[in-house]
Amino acid sequence: MKLQSLLSAGFFGRQYHPDMILSVNTISSPFRGTQIVYALGEDVCNAPDVRPLSLGDLIGKGVHVWSYLWPLVPSCLSFLDFHAESRALSFREASFISFLGQLWKSDWSASRDATPYDVTFEAAEEREDAGEGATNPRTYYRSHCATMGMSDEHSSNGGVTFSLLQKAVFWPLYLSSRTISAFDFSVLRPTPRFLNAIAATHPSSGGGKDRIEDGIVNVDEGAGYVSNALRANDGVVPLFSQWHPCDCENTLCRHYNHGEGILDSPEKTPHDTPPEAGVWHVHELQDAHHLSVVPIWVGSGRQKAFWRDLGQWLRAIDSARVDDVIAAFEA
């Protein structure tokens, strides 16, 4: 989305155009941020500050130590490259005094130019305000949104339940999922706009009628659905953030309720109608976590079904684009 916004703004020159991106396909993307970053240490009132001795603070210090010693790290561990050279953090570029200073207060981990800040709600709103989430009318958009367990808005923890197998194998994600689910949004400053939107959208008022479009979403219970989607998550990202950039009312979107279809029986997914450009097609993958589909290939039936379905979607896009080109020549 960042690349497309740069193309739209002419950043690379007038000869380049956002149409150059035919499709955008995402899996568990934190478009609108995630509360896990606050639980890990991001200051809830003064991001990008990091709370001292929080887990995030300790991780940041660990990265600094690793980066400082990077020239001595054996090649067999090269996959853990944090690109220390880009920030001059290794002992070849930085003095020992400078290194100690970074351990005391990091210029990197507590800056706006770091992943933790990028996934705060505040940073996500800044991107939306800059128009970064706008859709291009000739690009096809599809998001895949995973949730662990089944959501139940009436349960006390926001509704995430887990099987014993999930708990045993993916216990870190299980723990983080519980943390995300139980997060207290009221402590955040500035207050995220999506909270105001939920407060203003009450089912009985009819205000939520058109806020969420199509598919699964019960439009009569729109506020409850969105509220629940703040807590339903894949262990890293809340469901609402995986849908697409911006509120549903400020973008074009179509939500489908056939997540089990994608993972278990792709023939159920709706490829019988031509894909629609400029609209987010939101597909939910139920009983899946942040790592269920990528990056680890395990060859499970569900994983194969997912990629088979995505292939069908991309072929449908190619077919639609060919039809567009033919129609343009005939006109």
Both structure tokens of 146: 């995973």
Residue 217 makes contact with Zn ion by CB under 5 A: no
As measured in angstroms, the least distance from the Cβ of 263 to Zn ion is 21
List 248, 263, 305, 310, residue binding Zn ion (CB under 5 A): 248
Alpha carbon dihedral 28, 31, 32, 33, in 10-degree steps, equals 60
List the one residue out of 247, 269, 248, 252 whose CA is nearest residue 260.
269
Tell me whether residue 63 or residue 248 sits nearer to Zn ion (CB atom).
Answer: 248
Tell me whether residue 73 or residue 195 sits nearer to Zn ion (CB atom).
Answer: 195
Q: Which stretch binds Zn ion (CB under 5 A): 48-56, 175-183, 249-257, 293-301?
A: 249-257
Q: How far is CA 270 from CA 218, 256, 258, 276, 284, in A?
A: 19, 9, 9, 12, 13
Question: How many alpha carbons fall within 13 Å on the CB side of residue 104?
Answer: 6
Q: Which residue is nearest to Zn ion (CB)?
A: 253
List 119, 236, 239, 253, residue binding Zn ion (CB under 5 A): 253
As measured in angstroms, the least distance from the Cβ of 145 to Zn ion is 10
As measured in angstroms, the least distance from the Cβ of 30 to Zn ion is 15
Q: Which stretch binds Zn ion (CB under 5 A): 85-93, 150-158, 173-181, 253-261?
A: 253-261
Tell me whether residue 50 or residue 253 sits nearer to Zn ion (CB atom).
Answer: 253
Tell me whether residue 64 or residue 254 sits nearer to Zn ion (CB atom).
Answer: 254
Q: Is the dihedral of CA 293, 294, 300, 304 positive or negative?
A: positive
As measured in angstroms, the least distance from the Cβ of 250 to Zn ion is 9
Q: Which stretch binds Zn ion (CB under 5 A): 47-55, 102-110, 137-145, 252-260?
A: 252-260
CA gyration radius for the chain?
A: 22
Tell me whether residue 70 or residue 280 sits nearer to Zn ion (CB atom).
Answer: 280
Both structure tokens of 100: 């100690």
Question: Considering CB under 5 A, how many residues would be counted as binding Zn ion?
Answer: 2
Contact residues for Zn ion (CB under 5 A)?
Answer: 248, 253
